Amino acid sequence: MPAPTAIDRMRSTLAERVLAGPDTPALLMVSGGSDSTALAYLAAELHEAGELGPLAMLHVNHRLRGEAADADARFVAQLAKLLDIPLFSCEIDIAREAELTGENVEAVARRERYLAANEALESLCRHAAAPLVDGRIVTAHTADDRVESFYMRSIVGTGPGGFRAMRYRNGPVVRPLLDASRNDLRAYLVERERAEEPVAVDAEGSLWREDATNAHTDRFRAYVRHEIVPRAKERNPQLLDVLCRSMNLIADEDDMLEAQAEALANRHAAWIEQSEALGIDHGAGCVLAPALGAEPRPLQRRAVLRVLGLVLGAEARVEAASVEAVLAAYDGAGAPRGGYVANIQGDLAVSANKRGVRVEPMAAFRARRKRG
């Protein structure tokens, strides 16, 4: 039986994982590298076949690589013109932004890229007269990226759910190439040229752009890509397939536990400010019921993580120490510790009494204390 082609893999992943369909507006994140270039061609094929909805492309120039980054932008513009796909393109001075905020350059680049993607998706959905909730941001992450993430998280540490490495879908973001390898996609691009189908090429005649910084092993992902994964493949040439199957098993169990934790949080969290007219103000905090302390610890941990994520907002990172500080408000028998107080995430207060464990902004906690 012949091996599945790149288009077969993308088609089956879109269908089996229910990522997108014939009416789905799809914004393609295209850097110009081999993976995202292949994504653009594959999506165009599926759109032409009536299997994917209106398309647009987004290219973000991070202004980190001078003329090379400008050449990437020119290549992507050529690709968009060739495929007759509308292109959103923007430039962001990531280095300056990172300097101003004190953040990691890669973290800033990712945040700004997805902010641009959400704006572009809104525009695409408006033009397609489709609800924003139906739109998808489509990335070109592959099985290779997923395996690299698995090793990266193994090195720095993660919770059980972290070992799923990448989700096929996370909100509007979908990854239909997670079952394809980088070699699959590069072979697909070479075959397109061999079959004399229309292709974009850069000034050197290449079918995709190479980011030279991907070879710099002082960067964590590049180190894993070039130093760790090749050695693991020497032991097991089927590493990508084997690890991706393992990660999918982890993901299935993680999804089950997440569903249970969501139900637990809904049952045991009473939000401090909510009304029929305005809904819930998650930022005002909540009270966790005493009964939460009797639940299995792994589910408690996930429920608290979920609650803190809602209190802090979508952009915030919930620290593991914060979750443990909330759990420490319950004693060994599972009852709230009267008089317990902790400060988490810099601006949240955790306090406990017989009525439960309260999580709220520090200002609200101090105001309550002052009132007596």
Long-range contacts of 211-214, Cβ-Cβ distance < 8 Å, separation of 24 or more:
211/31, 211/33, 211/65, 211/68, 211/72, 212/65, 212/68, 213/64, 213/65
- Alpha-carbon distance of 207 to 44, in angstroms, equals 17
pLDDT of residue 372: 66
Q: Which of 168, 111, 53, 40 is nearest to 314 (CA)?
A: 111
Report phi then psi at 275, rounded to 5: -150, 160
- Alpha-carbon distance of 348 to 287, in angstroms, equals 13
Q: Where are the domains of the chain?
A: 6-251, 272-371
17 CA to centre of own chain = 16
User: 183: Cβ–Cβ under 8 A, 6 or more apart, which residues?
Assistant: none
Are 366 and 343 spatial neighbours (Cβ–Cβ below 8 Å)?
A: no
pLDDT of residue 334: 94
pTM assigned to the model: 0.86
Quote the tokens at residue 26.
């799809």
For the CA atoms of the chain, what is the radius of gyration? 24
AA identity, residue 90:
C
Are 6 and 182 spatial neighbours (Cβ–Cβ below 8 Å)?
A: no
Helical H runs in 49-181?
66-83, 94-101, 105-127, 143-156
Are 125 and 131 spatial neighbours (Cβ–Cβ below 8 Å)?
A: yes
CATH number assigned to the domain covering 6-251: 3.40.50.620
Q: What is the pLDDT along the chain (372 residues), one digit of tens a residue?
A: 667 899 999 999 999 999 999 999 999 999 999 999 999 999 999 999 999 999 999 999 988 888 999 999 999 999 999 999 999 999 988 888 888 888 888 888 888 999 999 999 999 999 999 999 999 999 999 999 999 999 999 999 888 888 998 999 999 999 999 999 999 999 999 999 999 999 999 999 999 999 888 888 888 999 999 999 999 999 999 999 999 999 999 999 999 999 999 999 999 999 999 877 778 999 999 999 999 999 999 999 999 999 999 999 877 889 989 999 999 999 999 999 999 999 999 899 999 999 999 999 999 999 988 886
